[in-house]
Amino acid sequence: MRKFLSFALFTAAFLILADSQIAFAQEAPKLEIGAHYTLLRFSDFDTNDSGVGARVTFNLTDNLAIEGEYNFFPTKRRHFVDPFYLDSRRYQGLLGVKAGTRGDKVGVFGKLRPGFVHFGEGIFDQTILTFQAVAPTFKSTQFALDAGGVVEFYPSRHTVMRFDLGDTIIRFNGDGGRPKFTSHNLQLSAGVGVRF
C-alpha cells in the first residue's frame, strides 16, 4: 500500500514539474460537473458492483483541483461483512485532490481522495440460524481512500470525457465484534461532464 501511494504521489509531482515545459493556449474552466458509470471490484469478497455517480471539480489551477464524488450501487445483495445480512445497497462518498498536467485536448492526473463506503440497511436473516422470521436490520459506514489516476479528454472548452482507475482502500472497523481488516479494491469509472 505504501509503495502504491508513493508511486501515485511521485507520478503526480513529476507531471506537475513536466507541465512547466508545456505551453497552453488558454486556462481551463474553474468548475466541472459530471456524471459517470463506476465499477467497484470488492476483491476480498469476489464481487463486482456496478453503480452510477456524480462529481464536482473545482480547478484551482490547470494542474491542481479539489473534487468531490458520490456513487450509488443499487443492486441489493448479501451484506459482505456478515453473510446473514441480506438486501444491502452501497453508497460511496469521496473528497480530495487531483494533480497532474493538462493540455488543450488531454489531461493526465493522479488522485488521492479520502471518504467512506456505506453499506446500507440490510435485513438480518434469522432463518439461517434459528428458522425464525426475518427480523433486525444492520448498516455500517467504513473509511475509504481512493488512490489512482485519471485521464481526461476535452472535445471542446466546455465538455470533458473522463476515465478513472484506482485502488479503493476500505478499512473495515470490526463493527459488532467482526474482525478488523483492510481491503484493496479495483475501481474503474467512465463519464462525461460540462465545464464552466
Is residue 158 predicted with pLDDT exceeding 90? Answer: yes
Which one has a higher pLDDT value, 53 or 177?
Answer: 53
Contact partners, residue 10, CB within 8 Å, separation at least 6: none
pLDDT 10s digits, 86-132? 457 889 999 999 999 999 999 999 999 999 999 876 655 444 444 33
Q: How confident is the model at residue 22 (pLDDT cuts 50, 70, 90)?
A: very low
Share above pLDDT 70 across residues of the chain, in percent, rounded to a whole number: 70
Q: How confident is the model at residue 195 (pLDDT cuts 50, 70, 90)?
A: very high
Q: Which CATH number does the domain housing residue 12 bear? A: 2.40.160.20
Inter-residue contact 166 to 187 (CB < 8 Å)? yes
Q: Which three cell numbers stand for residue 163?
A: 476515465
Is residue 163 predicted with pLDDT exceeding 70? Answer: yes
pLDDT 10s digits, 46-100? 888 899 999 999 999 999 999 999 999 998 765 554 544 445 788 999 999 999 9
Would the pTM count as exceeding 0.85?
no
What is the structure's pLDDT at 105? 95
In the chain, how many domains are there?
1
Query: Which of these, 36, 135, 43, lies nearest to 92 by C-alpha position?
Result: 36
Q: Which domain holds residue 20?
A: 2-195
Query: Cα(7)–Cα(183) distance, rounded to whole angstroms?
Result: 19
